[in-house]
Structure 1
Amino acid sequence: MRDLFDGDVMEPRDVQLAPGAMLLAGFARPLEASLIEAVNAIVERAPFRHLVTPGGHRMSVAMTNCGRVGWVSDHTGYRYDAIDPESSHPWPQMPAVFADLAARAAAKAGFVDFRPDACLINRYKPGAKLSLHQDKDELDFNAPIVSVSLGLPATFLFGGLNRSDKTARYRLTHGDVVAWGGPSRLAYHGVMPLPDGEHPLLGAQRINLTFRKTR
Protein backbone atom coordinates (compact mmCIF):
# COMPACT_ATOMS: atom_id res chain seq x y z
CA MET A 1 0.00 0.00 0.00
CA ARG A 2 1.34 3.44 -0.86
CA ASP A 3 2.48 5.59 2.07
CA LEU A 4 1.13 9.14 2.16
CA PHE A 5 3.74 10.47 4.60
CA ASP A 6 7.36 11.55 4.30
CA GLY A 7 10.10 11.84 6.87
CA ASP A 8 10.08 11.62 10.65
CA VAL A 9 7.45 14.33 11.18
CA MET A 10 4.78 12.32 9.34
CA GLU A 11 3.44 15.28 7.42
CA PRO A 12 0.72 14.31 4.93
CA ARG A 13 1.58 14.90 1.28
CA ASP A 14 -0.32 14.88 -1.98
CA VAL A 15 0.22 11.91 -4.27
CA GLN A 16 -0.17 11.60 -8.03
CA LEU A 17 -1.92 8.30 -8.69
CA ALA A 18 -1.67 8.48 -12.48
CA PRO A 19 -1.70 11.18 -15.18
CA GLY A 20 -4.75 13.28 -14.35
CA ALA A 21 -5.33 11.64 -10.96
CA MET A 22 -4.32 13.16 -7.62
CA LEU A 23 -4.77 12.27 -3.96
CA LEU A 24 -5.02 15.45 -1.87
CA ALA A 25 -4.16 14.34 1.66
CA GLY A 26 -6.34 15.91 4.37
CA PHE A 27 -7.74 18.51 1.97
CA ALA A 28 -11.30 18.37 3.38
CA ARG A 29 -10.39 18.06 7.06
CA PRO A 30 -10.77 21.79 7.90
CA LEU A 31 -14.42 21.52 6.79
CA GLU A 32 -15.23 18.28 8.62
CA ALA A 33 -17.90 19.76 10.93
CA SER A 34 -19.74 21.56 8.12
CA LEU A 35 -19.57 18.53 5.84
CA ILE A 36 -20.92 16.14 8.47
CA GLU A 37 -23.71 18.56 9.39
CA ALA A 38 -24.67 18.84 5.72
CA VAL A 39 -24.65 15.05 5.25
CA ASN A 40 -26.96 14.62 8.25
CA ALA A 41 -29.40 17.19 6.88
CA ILE A 42 -29.47 15.47 3.49
CA VAL A 43 -30.02 12.05 5.03
CA GLU A 44 -33.00 13.37 7.00
CA ARG A 45 -34.73 14.17 3.70
CA ALA A 46 -33.33 11.35 1.57
CA PRO A 47 -32.32 8.42 3.82
CA PHE A 48 -29.58 5.95 2.97
CA ARG A 49 -30.73 2.89 1.08
CA HIS A 50 -29.14 -0.23 -0.41
CA LEU A 51 -29.66 -0.18 -4.17
CA VAL A 52 -30.06 -3.29 -6.29
CA THR A 53 -28.03 -3.79 -9.46
CA PRO A 54 -29.69 -4.71 -12.78
CA GLY A 55 -28.52 -8.26 -12.13
CA GLY A 56 -30.37 -8.40 -8.80
CA HIS A 57 -27.36 -7.94 -6.48
CA ARG A 58 -27.97 -5.85 -3.32
CA MET A 59 -25.11 -3.41 -2.90
CA SER A 60 -23.25 -3.62 0.42
CA VAL A 61 -22.74 0.15 0.37
CA ALA A 62 -25.77 2.24 1.34
CA MET A 63 -26.24 5.48 -0.56
CA THR A 64 -28.22 8.62 -1.17
CA ASN A 65 -27.75 11.74 -3.32
CA CYS A 66 -28.00 15.49 -3.45
CA GLY A 67 -27.89 17.93 -6.36
CA ARG A 68 -29.80 18.43 -9.58
CA VAL A 69 -29.86 14.68 -10.20
CA GLY A 70 -29.04 11.53 -8.25
CA TRP A 71 -27.55 8.22 -9.31
CA VAL A 72 -29.90 5.25 -9.00
CA SER A 73 -29.85 1.57 -9.87
CA ASP A 74 -32.59 -1.03 -10.20
CA HIS A 75 -33.56 -3.94 -12.44
CA THR A 76 -33.89 -1.55 -15.41
CA GLY A 77 -30.28 -0.34 -15.22
CA TYR A 78 -28.02 2.45 -13.93
CA ARG A 79 -29.05 6.06 -14.52
CA TYR A 80 -29.31 9.59 -13.19
CA ASP A 81 -32.74 10.83 -12.16
CA ALA A 82 -33.92 14.19 -10.82
CA ILE A 83 -36.47 12.43 -8.59
CA ASP A 84 -35.75 10.26 -5.56
CA PRO A 85 -37.62 7.03 -6.36
CA GLU A 86 -38.32 6.37 -2.68
CA SER A 87 -39.93 9.74 -1.91
CA SER A 88 -41.06 10.83 -5.40
CA HIS A 89 -39.55 14.24 -4.57
CA PRO A 90 -36.49 15.98 -6.01
CA TRP A 91 -33.19 15.18 -4.34
CA PRO A 92 -32.00 17.70 -1.71
CA GLN A 93 -30.08 20.61 -3.14
CA MET A 94 -26.30 20.39 -3.07
CA PRO A 95 -25.00 22.42 -0.10
CA ALA A 96 -22.71 25.32 -0.97
CA VAL A 97 -19.95 23.81 1.19
CA PHE A 98 -20.04 20.68 -0.97
CA ALA A 99 -19.87 22.49 -4.30
CA ASP A 100 -17.12 24.84 -3.11
CA LEU A 101 -14.98 22.00 -1.76
CA ALA A 102 -15.37 19.98 -4.97
CA ALA A 103 -14.43 22.97 -7.13
CA ARG A 104 -11.35 23.83 -5.07
CA ALA A 105 -10.14 20.23 -4.94
CA ALA A 106 -10.59 19.83 -8.70
CA ALA A 107 -8.68 23.05 -9.33
CA LYS A 108 -5.78 21.90 -7.13
CA ALA A 109 -5.69 18.67 -9.14
CA GLY A 110 -5.55 20.67 -12.39
CA PHE A 111 -9.21 20.84 -13.39
CA VAL A 112 -10.53 24.39 -13.28
CA ASP A 113 -14.16 25.52 -13.35
CA PHE A 114 -15.56 22.21 -12.08
CA ARG A 115 -19.27 22.62 -11.33
CA PRO A 116 -20.77 19.33 -10.19
CA ASP A 117 -24.49 18.80 -10.51
CA ALA A 118 -24.63 15.52 -8.56
CA CYS A 119 -23.12 14.26 -5.33
CA LEU A 120 -23.38 10.58 -4.49
CA ILE A 121 -23.17 9.98 -0.74
CA ASN A 122 -22.05 6.45 0.13
CA ARG A 123 -22.08 4.93 3.61
CA TYR A 124 -19.70 2.05 4.29
CA LYS A 125 -20.18 -0.08 7.38
CA PRO A 126 -17.50 -2.68 8.27
CA GLY A 127 -17.40 -5.32 5.53
CA ALA A 128 -18.91 -3.07 2.85
CA LYS A 129 -16.96 -2.72 -0.38
CA LEU A 130 -17.17 -1.34 -3.90
CA SER A 131 -16.09 -3.58 -6.76
CA LEU A 132 -13.83 -2.31 -9.54
CA HIS A 133 -15.85 -0.17 -11.93
CA GLN A 134 -15.73 2.86 -14.23
CA ASP A 135 -17.82 5.99 -13.73
CA LYS A 136 -19.35 6.14 -17.19
CA ASP A 137 -23.04 6.98 -16.76
CA GLU A 138 -22.27 10.68 -17.26
CA LEU A 139 -22.61 12.48 -20.58
CA ASP A 140 -19.61 14.74 -19.91
CA PHE A 141 -16.30 12.89 -19.61
CA ASN A 142 -14.38 16.17 -19.81
CA ALA A 143 -15.18 16.92 -16.17
CA PRO A 144 -13.31 15.10 -13.40
CA ILE A 145 -14.60 12.95 -10.57
CA VAL A 146 -13.96 14.30 -7.06
CA SER A 147 -14.21 11.88 -4.12
CA VAL A 148 -14.09 12.93 -0.44
CA SER A 149 -13.44 10.49 2.42
CA LEU A 150 -14.87 10.99 5.92
CA GLY A 151 -14.76 8.64 8.89
CA LEU A 152 -12.98 5.29 9.03
CA PRO A 153 -9.91 4.67 6.83
CA ALA A 154 -10.42 2.63 3.67
CA THR A 155 -8.23 1.00 1.05
CA PHE A 156 -8.84 2.60 -2.34
CA LEU A 157 -8.01 0.67 -5.51
CA PHE A 158 -6.99 2.63 -8.59
CA GLY A 159 -6.22 0.93 -11.89
CA GLY A 160 -6.15 1.60 -15.62
CA LEU A 161 -8.61 1.84 -18.46
CA ASN A 162 -9.11 -1.93 -18.61
CA ARG A 163 -10.51 -4.06 -15.80
CA SER A 164 -7.54 -6.43 -16.15
CA ASP A 165 -4.98 -3.63 -15.57
CA LYS A 166 -2.98 -3.80 -12.36
CA THR A 167 -4.40 -1.76 -9.49
CA ALA A 168 -2.51 0.18 -6.84
CA ARG A 169 -3.75 0.42 -3.25
CA TYR A 170 -3.97 3.67 -1.31
CA ARG A 171 -5.05 4.16 2.29
CA LEU A 172 -7.62 6.95 2.46
CA THR A 173 -8.18 8.60 5.81
CA HIS A 174 -10.62 11.17 7.17
CA GLY A 175 -10.48 14.33 5.04
CA ASP A 176 -8.58 12.90 2.08
CA VAL A 177 -9.80 13.85 -1.40
CA VAL A 178 -9.12 12.05 -4.68
CA ALA A 179 -9.72 13.78 -8.01
CA TRP A 180 -9.27 12.12 -11.38
CA GLY A 181 -10.00 13.16 -14.95
CA GLY A 182 -8.37 13.70 -18.31
CA PRO A 183 -6.50 10.51 -19.33
CA SER A 184 -7.60 8.84 -16.08
CA ARG A 185 -11.27 9.84 -16.25
CA LEU A 186 -12.43 6.28 -17.06
CA ALA A 187 -9.92 4.49 -14.85
CA TYR A 188 -11.22 1.46 -12.98
CA HIS A 189 -11.42 2.00 -9.23
CA GLY A 190 -12.98 0.46 -6.15
CA VAL A 191 -12.84 0.11 -2.37
CA MET A 192 -11.77 -3.00 -0.47
CA PRO A 193 -13.97 -4.31 2.38
CA LEU A 194 -13.99 -1.77 5.21
CA PRO A 195 -12.24 -3.04 8.36
CA ASP A 196 -13.82 -2.76 11.81
CA GLY A 197 -13.09 0.43 13.66
CA GLU A 198 -14.49 3.45 15.45
CA HIS A 199 -14.02 7.02 14.21
CA PRO A 200 -14.30 9.75 16.87
CA LEU A 201 -16.76 11.81 14.80
CA LEU A 202 -18.61 9.24 12.71
CA GLY A 203 -18.39 6.00 14.66
CA ALA A 204 -18.16 2.66 12.88
CA GLN A 205 -18.60 3.93 9.34
CA ARG A 206 -17.02 5.68 6.40
CA ILE A 207 -18.88 8.36 4.44
CA ASN A 208 -17.79 9.05 0.87
CA LEU A 209 -18.91 12.07 -1.16
CA THR A 210 -18.49 11.62 -4.91
CA PHE A 211 -19.01 14.72 -7.04
CA ARG A 212 -19.84 14.45 -10.73
CA LYS A 213 -20.89 16.62 -13.65
CA THR A 214 -23.44 14.52 -15.46
CA ARG A 215 -23.97 16.58 -18.59
Structure 2
Amino acid sequence: MNRANQYQAFLAEDFASDPEFIGWVLNPDEENTELWQYWLSANPEKAKEVEVAVQLIRFAIPQYYHAKDGVQQQIWENILLNVKTVNSIKVSPLHRSAPLWKNWKQWAAVLTGLLFLAGMAYKVIENSKTTKYATGPTETKRIQLPDGSEVILNANSFLSYHKIWDKDNERNVNLRGEAFFRSYIKMIISSFWSIPRMQAV
Protein backbone atom coordinates (compact mmCIF):
# COMPACT_ATOMS: atom_id res chain seq x y z
CA MET A 1 0.00 0.00 0.00
CA ASN A 2 2.42 2.60 -1.28
CA ARG A 3 -0.25 5.32 -1.63
CA ALA A 4 -1.26 5.37 2.05
CA ASN A 5 -0.70 9.11 2.37
CA GLN A 6 -2.75 9.79 -0.74
CA TYR A 7 -5.73 7.88 0.71
CA GLN A 8 -6.07 10.39 3.53
CA ALA A 9 -7.58 12.91 1.12
CA PHE A 10 -9.93 10.37 -0.54
CA LEU A 11 -13.69 10.62 -0.41
CA ALA A 12 -16.06 7.66 -0.85
CA GLU A 13 -16.16 7.99 -4.65
CA ASP A 14 -12.35 8.14 -4.77
CA PHE A 15 -12.10 4.89 -2.81
CA ALA A 16 -14.78 3.32 -5.04
CA SER A 17 -12.69 4.08 -8.12
CA ASP A 18 -9.31 2.99 -6.71
CA PRO A 19 -8.17 -0.39 -8.14
CA GLU A 20 -6.41 -1.52 -4.92
CA PHE A 21 -9.48 -0.70 -2.82
CA ILE A 22 -11.80 -2.45 -5.27
CA GLY A 23 -9.50 -5.48 -5.26
CA TRP A 24 -9.77 -5.62 -1.47
CA VAL A 25 -13.59 -5.25 -1.51
CA LEU A 26 -14.24 -7.77 -4.28
CA ASN A 27 -11.40 -10.23 -3.70
CA PRO A 28 -10.28 -9.92 -0.08
CA ASP A 29 -7.30 -12.00 0.94
CA GLU A 30 -5.15 -12.09 4.04
CA GLU A 31 -2.59 -9.60 2.79
CA ASN A 32 -4.89 -6.82 1.47
CA THR A 33 -7.30 -7.21 4.43
CA GLU A 34 -4.44 -6.76 6.87
CA LEU A 35 -3.17 -3.67 4.99
CA TRP A 36 -6.59 -1.97 4.86
CA GLN A 37 -7.36 -2.80 8.50
CA TYR A 38 -4.03 -1.30 9.51
CA TRP A 39 -4.70 1.83 7.41
CA LEU A 40 -8.21 2.20 8.90
CA SER A 41 -6.87 1.87 12.46
CA ALA A 42 -4.41 4.68 11.66
CA ASN A 43 -7.14 6.81 9.98
CA PRO A 44 -10.40 6.20 11.90
CA GLU A 45 -11.92 9.44 10.58
CA LYS A 46 -12.10 7.79 7.13
CA ALA A 47 -14.12 4.78 8.35
CA LYS A 48 -17.42 6.28 7.17
CA GLU A 49 -16.01 7.11 3.72
CA VAL A 50 -14.63 3.57 3.39
CA GLU A 51 -17.96 2.07 4.46
CA VAL A 52 -19.86 4.13 1.86
CA ALA A 53 -17.33 3.19 -0.83
CA VAL A 54 -17.71 -0.52 0.00
CA GLN A 55 -21.50 -0.22 -0.28
CA LEU A 56 -21.16 1.65 -3.59
CA ILE A 57 -19.03 -1.09 -5.08
CA ARG A 58 -21.18 -3.95 -3.80
CA PHE A 59 -24.40 -2.26 -4.83
CA ALA A 60 -23.20 -1.15 -8.24
CA ILE A 61 -21.69 -4.42 -9.40
CA PRO A 62 -23.13 -7.53 -7.75
CA GLN A 63 -22.55 -9.44 -11.00
CA TYR A 64 -18.87 -8.49 -10.79
CA TYR A 65 -18.24 -11.35 -8.34
CA HIS A 66 -19.10 -13.98 -10.95
CA ALA A 67 -17.85 -12.28 -14.12
CA LYS A 68 -14.73 -13.17 -16.09
CA ASP A 69 -11.75 -10.82 -16.29
CA GLY A 70 -12.78 -9.09 -19.57
CA VAL A 71 -16.34 -8.57 -18.35
CA GLN A 72 -15.06 -7.31 -15.00
CA GLN A 73 -13.02 -4.65 -16.77
CA GLN A 74 -16.08 -3.53 -18.77
CA ILE A 75 -18.22 -3.36 -15.61
CA TRP A 76 -15.51 -1.41 -13.89
CA GLU A 77 -15.36 1.10 -16.75
CA ASN A 78 -19.13 1.55 -16.50
CA ILE A 79 -18.82 2.29 -12.78
CA LEU A 80 -16.14 4.90 -13.40
CA LEU A 81 -18.24 6.48 -16.13
CA ASN A 82 -21.26 6.65 -13.79
CA VAL A 83 -19.19 8.16 -10.98
CA LYS A 84 -17.90 10.86 -13.36
CA THR A 85 -21.45 11.52 -14.59
CA VAL A 86 -22.76 11.94 -11.05
CA ASN A 87 -19.89 14.28 -10.18
CA SER A 88 -20.52 16.41 -13.27
CA ILE A 89 -24.19 17.07 -12.49
CA LYS A 90 -24.65 20.66 -11.42
CA VAL A 91 -27.48 21.62 -9.13
CA SER A 92 -29.18 24.81 -10.18
CA PRO A 93 -30.08 27.35 -7.47
CA LEU A 94 -33.66 27.68 -6.33
CA HIS A 95 -35.89 29.62 -8.69
CA ARG A 96 -37.05 32.91 -7.22
CA SER A 97 -40.74 33.60 -7.33
CA ALA A 98 -42.16 36.44 -9.36
CA PRO A 99 -42.55 39.89 -7.78
CA LEU A 100 -45.72 40.39 -5.76
CA TRP A 101 -47.35 42.69 -8.33
CA LYS A 102 -47.08 39.97 -10.99
CA ASN A 103 -49.25 37.65 -8.90
CA TRP A 104 -52.29 39.92 -9.24
CA LYS A 105 -54.72 36.99 -9.56
CA GLN A 106 -53.72 35.61 -6.18
CA TRP A 107 -54.00 39.07 -4.62
CA ALA A 108 -57.42 39.55 -6.20
CA ALA A 109 -58.56 36.21 -4.77
CA VAL A 110 -57.25 37.15 -1.31
CA LEU A 111 -58.95 40.55 -1.46
CA THR A 112 -62.24 38.96 -2.57
CA GLY A 113 -62.05 36.51 0.30
CA LEU A 114 -61.37 39.29 2.80
CA LEU A 115 -64.29 41.35 1.50
CA PHE A 116 -66.56 38.31 1.73
CA LEU A 117 -65.47 37.68 5.33
CA ALA A 118 -65.98 41.34 6.22
CA GLY A 119 -69.50 41.23 4.74
CA MET A 120 -70.32 38.07 6.67
CA ALA A 121 -68.99 39.61 9.90
CA TYR A 122 -71.09 42.74 9.34
CA LYS A 123 -74.20 40.61 8.75
CA VAL A 124 -73.58 38.57 11.91
CA ILE A 125 -73.06 41.74 13.97
CA GLU A 126 -76.20 43.35 12.56
CA ASN A 127 -78.22 40.18 13.15
CA SER A 128 -77.08 40.18 16.77
CA LYS A 129 -78.58 43.69 17.13
CA THR A 130 -81.95 42.57 15.74
CA THR A 131 -84.81 40.97 17.65
CA LYS A 132 -86.86 38.51 15.59
CA TYR A 133 -90.15 36.73 16.12
CA ALA A 134 -91.90 34.16 13.96
CA THR A 135 -95.13 32.21 14.27
CA GLY A 136 -96.13 28.81 12.96
CA PRO A 137 -99.26 27.88 10.95
CA THR A 138 -101.68 27.88 13.91
CA GLU A 139 -99.80 30.13 16.32
CA THR A 140 -100.22 33.75 17.41
CA LYS A 141 -97.82 35.72 19.57
CA ARG A 142 -98.20 38.84 21.72
CA ILE A 143 -95.06 41.03 21.58
CA GLN A 144 -94.19 44.21 23.47
CA LEU A 145 -91.91 46.63 21.61
CA PRO A 146 -89.24 48.71 23.42
CA ASP A 147 -91.41 51.86 23.31
CA GLY A 148 -94.30 50.07 25.01
CA SER A 149 -96.35 49.42 21.86
CA GLU A 150 -97.99 46.03 21.59
CA VAL A 151 -98.09 43.71 18.56
CA ILE A 152 -100.21 40.62 18.06
CA LEU A 153 -98.43 38.52 15.43
CA ASN A 154 -100.81 36.25 13.49
CA ALA A 155 -100.09 32.78 12.08
CA ASN A 156 -97.27 32.28 9.51
CA SER A 157 -95.84 35.73 10.16
CA PHE A 158 -92.41 37.21 10.85
CA LEU A 159 -91.54 40.39 12.75
CA SER A 160 -88.12 41.96 13.40
CA TYR A 161 -86.83 45.22 14.81
CA HIS A 162 -83.56 46.74 15.95
CA LYS A 163 -82.93 46.10 19.65
CA ILE A 164 -81.85 49.67 20.35
CA TRP A 165 -84.53 52.26 19.75
CA ASP A 166 -83.31 55.81 19.65
CA LYS A 167 -85.76 58.30 21.17
CA ASP A 168 -85.05 60.89 18.50
CA ASN A 169 -85.36 58.68 15.41
CA GLU A 170 -88.11 56.74 13.74
CA ARG A 171 -89.15 53.38 15.09
CA ASN A 172 -88.77 50.76 12.32
CA VAL A 173 -90.47 47.39 12.47
CA ASN A 174 -90.20 44.85 9.64
CA LEU A 175 -93.24 42.66 9.14
CA ARG A 176 -93.85 39.78 6.79
CA GLY A 177 -97.32 38.37 7.22
CA GLU A 178 -100.12 39.75 9.35
CA ALA A 179 -100.11 41.59 12.69
CA PHE A 180 -102.23 43.95 14.78
CA PHE A 181 -100.51 46.95 16.38
CA ARG A 182 -101.53 48.92 19.44
CA SER A 183 -99.23 51.90 19.38
CA TYR A 184 -98.72 54.35 22.20
CA ILE A 185 -98.31 57.91 20.96
CA LYS A 186 -95.97 60.08 22.94
CA MET A 187 -97.29 63.52 23.52
CA ILE A 188 -94.76 66.28 23.21
CA ILE A 189 -95.28 69.30 25.40
CA SER A 190 -93.84 72.43 23.86
CA SER A 191 -92.44 75.37 25.72
CA PHE A 192 -95.88 77.01 25.55
CA TRP A 193 -97.47 74.07 27.34
CA SER A 194 -99.84 73.37 24.49
CA ILE A 195 -100.87 69.81 23.79
CA PRO A 196 -101.20 68.81 20.11
CA ARG A 197 -104.51 67.46 18.96
CA MET A 198 -104.88 63.79 18.40
CA GLN A 199 -106.94 62.62 15.48
CA ALA A 200 -108.60 59.27 15.39
CA VAL A 201 -107.85 57.12 12.41
Please, what TM-score do these two structures have when normalized by structure 2?
0.20
Structure with the greater alpha carbon radius of gyration? 2
Please, what TM-score do these two structures have when normalized by structure 1?
0.19
Higher relative contact order (CA 8 A, sep 6+): 1
